[in-house]
Amino acid sequence: MKFFVDTAEITEIRELNDAGLVDGVTTNPSLIAKSGRDIVEVTKEICALVDGPVSAEVTAVDYAGMMREAAVLAKIADNVCIKLPLTLDGLKACKAIVSDGRQTNVTLCFSANQALLAAKAGATFVSPFIGRIDDIGWDGMDLIGEMRRIYDNYGFATQILAASIRTVNHVKDAALIGADAATIPPGVLRQLVKHPLTDKGLDSFLADWARSGQKIG
């Protein structure tokens, strides 16, 4: 499973990228606004920092506006992935942008039918929002499973990018079902390494080593 980090904070991205945990980055208008920085400036910095795709989202809701904004975003760097809403205009823009050789990430996916349409439009990635589905009392993992079966049935190349990740179990369950990637908040990504038995074992090893009086080097 590919790990994308879901943030526009450069310090967070750099730290996780240096640890070898980042295959890409996703941003959205809310994350850009939270960063307090200009979208072109911060996206350019992120693209220079990581090798993988960096999702930058259009804010227009009509096809012409999406294409105009996509052209601006595409000029930032070769690894910019144009993020588009899962609407008819968004799907039309997706088809056109993919035809021009750019990667796309179709976002705000909440149903298997929507995911099927995104794949037919040629999306590079489609982002089902697991956490938001859980919020309304449904199971977001059911959607991941339905998408996996549909994509496998027809050999679609579109990658399932599990989004709206809230917990470490979201990551685990998405991986078990077969999501191609997950976009994960930095805090949740760091939590993946945590286990009380790891901490306990390390404390025990260090205590035994201290009693031995030895040093390495």
Q: Tens of pLDDT along 93-129?
A: 999 999 999 999 999 999 999 999 999 999 999 999 9
pLDDT score at 6:
98
The CATH number of the domain covering residues in 2-212: 3.20.20.70
Residue 9 confidence class, pLDDT cut points 50, 70, 90:
very high
Q: Tens of pLDDT along 147-198?
A: 999 999 999 999 999 999 999 999 999 999 999 999 999 999 999 999 999 9
Q: Compute the mean pLDDT over every residue in the chain, rounded to the nearest whole number.
A: 98
User: Which residues, at least 6 apart from 24, have a Cβ–Cβ distance to it below 8 Å?
Assistant: 2, 4, 5, 50, 52, 53, 54, 55, 81, 181, 183
pLDDT score at 185:
98
pLDDT score at 83:
98
Cβ pair 127, 106 in contact under 8 A: yes
Question: Using CA atoms, how far apart are residues 4 and 183, in angstroms rounded to an integer?
Answer: 4
Residue 145 confidence class, pLDDT cut points 50, 70, 90:
very high
Is 2 noted as a catalytic residue in this protein?
A: no
Domain boundaries, the chain: 2-212
Task: Give the percent of the chain with pLDDT over 70.
Answer: 100
pLDDT score at 64:
98
Indicate which residue of 2, 83, 92, 120 is catalytic.
83
Task: Give the percent of the chain with pLDDT over 90.
Answer: 100
Residue 19 confidence class, pLDDT cut points 50, 70, 90:
very high
The DSSP result for 39-102, as a single string, is HHHHHHHHHHH-SS-EEEE----SHHHHHHHHHHHHTT-TTEEEEEESSHHHHHHHHHHHHTT-
